Amino acid sequence: MAEADYVIVGAGSAGSALAYRLSEDGRHSVIVIEYGGSDAGPFIQMPAALSFPMNMARYDWGYTTEPEPHLGGRRLATPRGKVIGGSSSINGMVYVRGHARDFDHWAEAGARGWSFAEVLPYFKRMENAKAGEDGWRGREGPLHVQRGPRRNPLYDAFIEAGRQAGFELTDDYNGAKQEGFAAMEQTIHNGRRWSAANAYLKPALRRQNVSLVRGFARRVVIENQRAVGVEIEAHKTIQVVKARREVIVAASAINAPKLLKLSGIGPAQELRRHGIAVVADRPGVGENLQDHLELYIQQECLQPITLHSSLGLLSKALIGAQWLFFKSGLGASNHFEAAAFVRSRAGVEYPDIQYHFLPAAIRYDGKAAAKTHGFQAHVGPMRSKSRGNVTLASPDPWAAPKIRFNYMAHEEDWADFRHCIRLTREIFSQPAFAPYRGREIAPGEEATSDEALDDFIREHVESAYHPCGTCRMGAPDDPMSVVDPELRVIGVEGLRVACSSVFPRITNGNLNAPSIMVGEKAADHILGRPLLPPSNQEPWINPRWQVSDR
């Protein structure tokens, strides 16, 4: 029987970091359980191929939402990595820590010890940043972070247009000052995707005390209110991987609550309905589901300088060959090389809108490319009040869970998105874009009224693929908390959760960096190590925040 001190379910962003840190001193054995296969091959390792793996059943669990009531019953894709590296192997490789105030909010919401001052040292420990603000960035960690080359003039046009519209610029949105237009950071190293597998898991697996067990996690085995192992299915047989010390679930905001519920931890009523014996009645398991939504605002480009030229078969073959042989060229970037974080209005203390800029008019999944040269901004609000849930469809572990984000449930969501569209039009209308700006492709110049914009939002808004929050961290006496501030599942010994599911509230921007940070900090809690000393760095807050949006 496989047995180790620590058993981690999931080889994703947090799970890989945990495997690396828990095994670092050689004193403890670690088993990582992962159902997904190898991350070898160009579809994952080549940054520009990012639209492929999330559309491949080989690498993605293939989840979709239930019909979303506020989006005309649309079912939205909810990709989650089913591969070594988890979602860090199929994501867009964008690196954003989140805003300092996000983590201060976590601490205020009951996650004591997770304020910005307390998590900043862990961000620094994990990073190997090639650029960015001294004193704020890590230079020696396993996770390589770089900036794209920004060779296409449209990137600089976007940043300059932001300045012309009166917004801030920032040299480093992952430093003291998130607010502003900036170069975007990427988890890419030497032309390859630098996933959590490349950064953490593969180095950890070279150690004698770490092993990878391929299998499908069916449930956590709990005896006398203590987790003692994980029941897995491998090679058509069911077996138990035993944990001498602890089981750590790092299985994503979708699969972590599902696994807890299958193990008898969750809302008692739901568990009984599926014939599952209740081990711990935790009504918060699967609730508090959050995500970011975004729209693609697309503009025709009058000069033939966009990525549209590279979409033909011959171009793709040449780009692929250059990447295969030299790890360079257009294949070596995710093409998200310019960004912005701005505030929607006066009275908002810190940014609540994010931009990704792309010198192409194309969907994230690589489909529905515009038939012309174009550029686009992905834009969306960061802090929707809408909340959804993940529930069991069946007691069968192989059945996909029911995912309801309840997107756009608040009237504010609609007002926020209308503002995002109009603000993007204002930015695209600046002089910096004059040499390039053609007609508006989407939503289209005729869409000006609130009703027309709402119709566009309803039909075209897409997930940014940032699910989180379903095993919320909080005060142990809060009935909706699932884990305490040391990530221990409340009501069960020897069991923790450490992934994006523990976020009390979604952070600003992409979630890969804060997910890895959770794994880093969790390791110190699990090993009972002294936590890294809090930082005394003061984040920048716009002095005009009460009177202006810029």
Binding residues for FAD, as ranges, are 5-34
Q: b/e map of 477-501 (b: 16 or more CB within 10 Å)? A: eeeebbbbbbbbbbebebbbbbbbb
- Supply the DSSP symbol for 346: T
Is the peptide bond prior to 443 cis by the omega test (within 30 degrees of 0)? yes
Report the C-alpha gap between 277 and 544 in whole angstroms: 55
Q: What is the CA radius of gyration of the chain?
A: 23
Q: Is 14 exposed, middle or buried (0-12, 13-18, 19+ CB in 10 A)?
A: buried
Beta carbons of 495 and 222 less than 8 angstroms apart: yes
Catalytic residue among 99, 419, 466, 525: 466
Euclidean distance between the first and final Cα of the chain, in Å? Answer: 60
- Could you give phi then psi for residue 42, rounded to 5 degrees? -70, -25
Which three-class secondary structure state does DSSP give residue 314? helix
**Residue pointed to by tokens 């930015």:** 427
Q: Which residue positions form the known binding site? A: 5-34
Q: Within its chain, how far is the Cα of 355 from the centroid? A: 15
Amino acid identity of residue 446, one-letter, is E
Verify whether residue 419 is a known catalytic residue. no
Count of other CB atoms within 10 angstroms of residue 219: 20
> Contact at 8 Å (CB) between 519 and 15?
yes
Helices (H) and strands (E) in the chain, counts: 13, 25
* Spatial contact of 92 and 463, defined as CB atoms under 8 Å apart: no
CB-count burial class (<10 Å; 0-12, 13-18, 19+) for 533? exposed
- Give the pair of three-digit tokens for residue 56: 């491949």
Please name the helix (run of DSSP H) or strand (run of DSSP E) that holds residue 259, with its range, or none: helix 252-262
Residue in the block written with tokens 């009224």: 449
What is the DSSP code (8-state) at residue 434?
Answer: T
CA distance 119 to 101: 12
50 and 335 in contact (C-beta within 8 Å)? no
Using DSSP's 3-state secondary structure scheme, residue 488 falls into strand
Residues sharing a CB contact under 8 Å with residue 185, sequence separation 6 or more, in sequence order = 94, 95, 96, 129, 131, 132, 145, 146, 147, 173, 174
Give which of 171, 224, 209, 455 is closest to 339, Cα–Cα. Answer: 171
Catalytic residues: 466
